């Protein structure tokens, strides 16, 4: 076996895959990657199944050293500087670390999460079919907790396959699309209008359980307590202070605040990548449009193998230079002190 | 009789889940319909449905919008929800041992004061209850029980605790519950059980099912400690009653 030893890593970094759906009726949330498209792109680059386990790396920097043999990796998701022993590595490409070489990742510049996939996957013992970390439930492998410096991730030795890049379509949609409900009738029309008309920012006290939004106060019609019902990724619940919390993959499976709207599944990964502090808007769409977008997103996931391209050194260098030139001007607004592992979103329940 | 069942409301939870709402309130009849629909969905699987999550008053149906549309699934659900509720299937009944008060139930004294009675009386009232698992949610194994006596109902704490112990048995509003994992809670802590409602690598991993009946049995701290050791080793220390 080869392995990558984590020489340094920030908070909010963990092993994640497609998650473990199927036990929400027992209170076990699926977890899994915040940005499934980026996870699938990274895995496709190194020939893995799209939702194989990868390292989900939060907004901060990280460094990994290959031991015991060469390791072939791919990086996708948030844009950030990356190099292997000084050789630049572009996002959405594969690359190989020779034994003893270190890969260094800078802070995320746009986006919040990167995915580092290993050719051959990460060795571990799945629980409920998944290696995804859910620290509260004691789940996750090889470590049932966020990653720390010194952790070791075992994988197969690099095959020597040619490196590739993957061409992902540019995102045309700027706003985050939602469908109303399930409890939008707990809000007056003008509150719903205010929600759509306003700019929102994601608070730095956000995590994999929930993204807290900062913006105008969204008032309830009948108070903020409802009898708990089920939640999904993207549920936009509005607690008593009127500042919505968007529920993320480590959410509670049930919750007792009214949910004004739900982020559509096709936009969930893009929403998860929105950096703390950056203004964005929501846009309400019909169920028909949301489901058409879900079908397009499924088509995009299926098309990933057809989007692989050979790496030409010219492409790589231009990408890397562009990445390097913008470094430092837009470091993510979150910082290590406030990006919490357990957020205040955590303390509300049970309902 | 069956014709009088009002249809549930179909509420979109995004493009990949439908909240099938039978009531806005905590209501045993609504919970019965939730659990009946849950069983019906399990008995006649629908292409594209990936998971169902019963709660007090609603069934959350997760589905893949690539395989079935909101409209088609909604029609199917409405048809199932209007079928007469079948005769109650055999209910499992569990006896769950609880050590009440002291360090295991730090709010027992305060609850007794608030309700103007003694801790022993609170324990007696809690033990006298015949409870049902109305839903399991929030965190793995957190079992919400219906059937709390009206005389025990009181508002939740003003300041939720950030950390309450694994195995806590508590009351909140009209509910009582058994939590499996340590975690935040705004409920009043009456006691603690050694029973793990969720335990990895044990068969079954999840002990309780929605619809199960629950009775609490008081035990002393010594018994709790023994049961806790046994439970940690994978033994099931809840007693399944013969039916």
Q: Is the pLDDT of residue A7 over 50?
A: yes
For the CA atoms of A7, A10, A15, A17, what is the dihedral angle to 10 degrees? -130
pLDDT on residue B88: 65
Q: Are residues B118 and B46 in the same domain?
A: no
Q: Are residues B59 and B137 in the same domain?
A: no
Residue in B14, B57, B187 closest to A262 by CB: B14
Q: Is the pLDDT of residue A185 over 50?
A: yes
Q: Is the pLDDT of residue A47 over 90?
A: yes
Give the side-chain half-sphere CA count within 13 A for A343: 22
Q: Are residues B69 and B122 in the same domain?
A: no
pLDDT on residue B3: 52
- Predicted confidence band at A319 (pLDDT cuts at 50, 70, 90)? low
User: Is residue B204 one of the residues assigned to a domain?
Assistant: yes
pLDDT on residue A344: 37
Q: Which domain holds residue B39?
A: 2-81
> Which residues of chain B make contact with A255, given a CB cutoff of 8 A?
138
- Predicted confidence band at A267 (pLDDT cuts at 50, 70, 90)? very high
Nearest to A4 by CA among A97, A78, A135, A83: A97
**What average pLDDT does chain B have?**
93
**What average pLDDT does chain A have?**
90
pTM of this structure = 0.91
User: Is residue B202 one of the residues assigned to a domain?
Assistant: yes
pLDDT on residue B92: 93
Q: Is the pLDDT of residue B156 over 90?
A: no
Euclidean distance between CA atoms A23 and B42, whole angstroms? 14
* B 170-209 residues inside an 8 A Cβ radius of A: 172, 177, 179, 181, 183-187, 198, 200, 205-206
Q: Is the pLDDT of residue A333 over 50?
A: no
> Which residues of chain A make contact with B14, given a CB cutoff of 8 A?
179, 232-235, 262-265, 290
Q: Are residues B109 and B24 in the same domain?
A: no
pLDDT on residue A335: 38
Domain boundary among B81, B105, B130: B81
Mean pLDDT value of segment A143-151:
97
pLDDT on residue A243: 94
Q: Does A179 touch chain B (CB under 8 A)?
A: yes
Residue in A230, A252, A291 closest to B19 by CB: A230
Mean pLDDT value of segment A239-253:
94
Q: Does B65 touch chain A (CB under 8 A)?
A: yes
Which is more confidently placed, B28 or B54? B54
Q: Are residues B102 and B182 in the same domain?
A: yes
Structure confidence by residue, pLDDT tens digits, B179-227: 999 988 989 999 999 999 999 989 999 999 999 999 999 999 999 999 9
User: Is residue B86 one of the residues assigned to a domain?
Assistant: no
Q: Are residues B49 and B115 in the same domain?
A: no
Degrees to nearest 5, angle at CA B143 with A180 and B181: 100
Whether residues B53 and A21 touch (CB distance < 8 A) is answered with: no
pLDDT on residue A340: 36
Q: Are residues B184 and B75 in the same domain?
A: no
Q: Are residues B116 and B212 in the same domain?
A: yes
Q: Does A136 touch chain B (CB under 8 A)?
A: yes
CATH code of the domain in which B71 resides: 3.30.1360.40
Q: Does B211 touch chain A (CB under 8 A)?
A: no
User: Is residue B87 one of the residues assigned to a domain?
Assistant: no
Structure confidence by residue, pLDDT tens digits, A105-133: 999 998 999 999 999 999 999 999 999 99
Q: Is the pLDDT of residue A277 over 90?
A: yes
Euclidean distance between CA atoms B14 and A46, whole angstroms? 32
Domain boundary among B33, B56, B81: B81
> Domains in chain B: how many in total?
2
**Searching chain B, which residue's CA lies closest to the CA of residue A262?**
B14
Q: Are residues B104 and B73 in the same domain?
A: no
CATH code of the domain in which B214 resides: 2.40.100.10
Q: Are residues B100 and B215 in the same domain?
A: yes
Task: State the DSSP H helix or E strand holding residue A314, giving kind and residue range, or none if neither.
Answer: helix A313-325
Q: Are residues B125 and B214 in the same domain?
A: yes
ipTM topping 0.90: yes
Top-ranked range on mean pLDDT: pick from A173-177, A240-244, B2-6, B92-96:
B92-96
* Separation in Å, CA of B186 to nearest CA in chain A: 7
User: Is residue B34 one of the residues assigned to a domain?
Assistant: yes
Q: Is the pLDDT of residue A172 over 80?
A: no
Euclidean distance between CA atoms A214 and A231, whole angstroms? 21
Domain boundary among B81, B110, B135: B81
pLDDT on residue A223: 82
- Predicted confidence band at B100 (pLDDT cuts at 50, 70, 90)? very high
> Which residues of chain A make contact with B206, given a CB cutoff of 8 A?
23, 26, 28
User: Is residue B72 one of the residues assigned to a domain?
Assistant: yes
Q: Are residues B214 and B118 in the same domain?
A: yes
pLDDT on residue B227: 98
Mean pLDDT value of segment A14-35:
97
């Amino acid at each position: 076996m080869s392995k990558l030893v984590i020489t340094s890593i920030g908070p909010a970094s963990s092993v994640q895959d497609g998650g473990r759906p199927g036990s929400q009726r027992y209170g076990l949330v699926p977890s899994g990657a915040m940005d499934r498209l980026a996870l699938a792109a990274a895995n496709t680059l190194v020939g893995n199944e799209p939702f194989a386990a990868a390292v989900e790396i939060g907004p901060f920097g990280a460094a990994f050293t290959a031991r015991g043999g060469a390791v072939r990796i791919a990086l996708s998701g948030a844009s950030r500087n990356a190099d292997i022993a000084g050789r630049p590595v572009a996002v959405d490409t594969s690359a190989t670390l020779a034994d003893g070489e270190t890969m260094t990742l800078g802070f995320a510049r746009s986006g919040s999460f990167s995915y580092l996939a290993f050719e051959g996957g990460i060795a571990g013992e799945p629980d409920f079919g998944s290696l995804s970390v859910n620290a509260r439930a004691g789940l996750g492998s090889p470590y049932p907790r966020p990653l720390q410096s010194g952790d070791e991730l075992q994988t197969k030795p690099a095959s020597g396959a040619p490196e590739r890049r993957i061409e992902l379509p540019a995102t045309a949609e700027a706003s985050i699309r939602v469908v109303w409900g399930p409890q939008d009738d707990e809000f007056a029309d003008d509150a719903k209008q205010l929600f759509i008309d306003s700019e929102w920012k994601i608070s730095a006290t956000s995590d994999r359980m929930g993204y807290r939004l900062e913006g105008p106060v969204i008032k309830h019609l009948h108070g903020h307590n409802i009898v708990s019902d089920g939640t999904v990724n993207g549920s936009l619940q509005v607690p008593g202070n009127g500042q919505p919390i968007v529920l993320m993959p480590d959410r509670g499976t049930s919750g007792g605040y009214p949910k004004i709207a739900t982020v559509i599944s096709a936009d969930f990964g893009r929403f998860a990548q929105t950096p703390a502090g950056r203004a964005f808007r929501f846009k309400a769409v019909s169920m028909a449009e949301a489901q058409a977008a879900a079908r397009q997103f499924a088509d995009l996931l299926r098309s990933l193998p057809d989007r692989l391209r050979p790496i030409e050194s010219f492409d790589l260098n231009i990408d890397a230079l562009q990445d390097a030139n913008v470094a430092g001007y837009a470091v993510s607004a979150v910082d290590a002190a406030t990006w919490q592992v357990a957020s205040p979103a955590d303390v509300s329940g049970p309902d | 009789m069956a014709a009088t069942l009002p249809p549930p409301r179909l509420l979109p939870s995004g493009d990949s889940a439908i909240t099938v709402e039978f009531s806005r309130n905590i209501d045993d009849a609504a919970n019965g319909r939730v659990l009946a629909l849950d069983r019906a969905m399990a008995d006649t699987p629908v292409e594209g449905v990936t998971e169902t999550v019963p709660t007090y008053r609603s069934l959350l149906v997760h589905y893949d919008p690539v395989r079935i549309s909101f409209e088609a699934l909604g029609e199917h659900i409405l048809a199932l929800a209007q079928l007469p509720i079948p005769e109650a299937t055999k209910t499992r009944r569990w006896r769950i041992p609880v050590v009440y008060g002291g360090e295991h139930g730090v709010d027992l004294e305060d609850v007794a004061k608030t309700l103007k009675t003694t801790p022993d009386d609170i324990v007696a009232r809690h033990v006298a209850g015949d409870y049902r698992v109305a839903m399991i949610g929030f965190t793995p194994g957190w079992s919400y029980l219906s059937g709390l006596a009206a005389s025990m109902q009181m508002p939740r704490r003003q300041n939720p605790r950030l950390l309450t112990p694994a195995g806590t048995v508590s009351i909140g509003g009209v509910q009582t519950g058994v939590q499996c994992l340590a975690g935040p809670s705004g409920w009043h802590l009456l006691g603690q059980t050694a029973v793990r409602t969720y335990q990895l690598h044990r068969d079954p991993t999840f002990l309780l099912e929605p619809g199960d009946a629950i009775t609490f049995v008081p035990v002393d701290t010594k018994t709790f400690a023994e049961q806790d050791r046994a439970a940690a080793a994978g033994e099931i220390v809840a007693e399944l009653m013969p039916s």
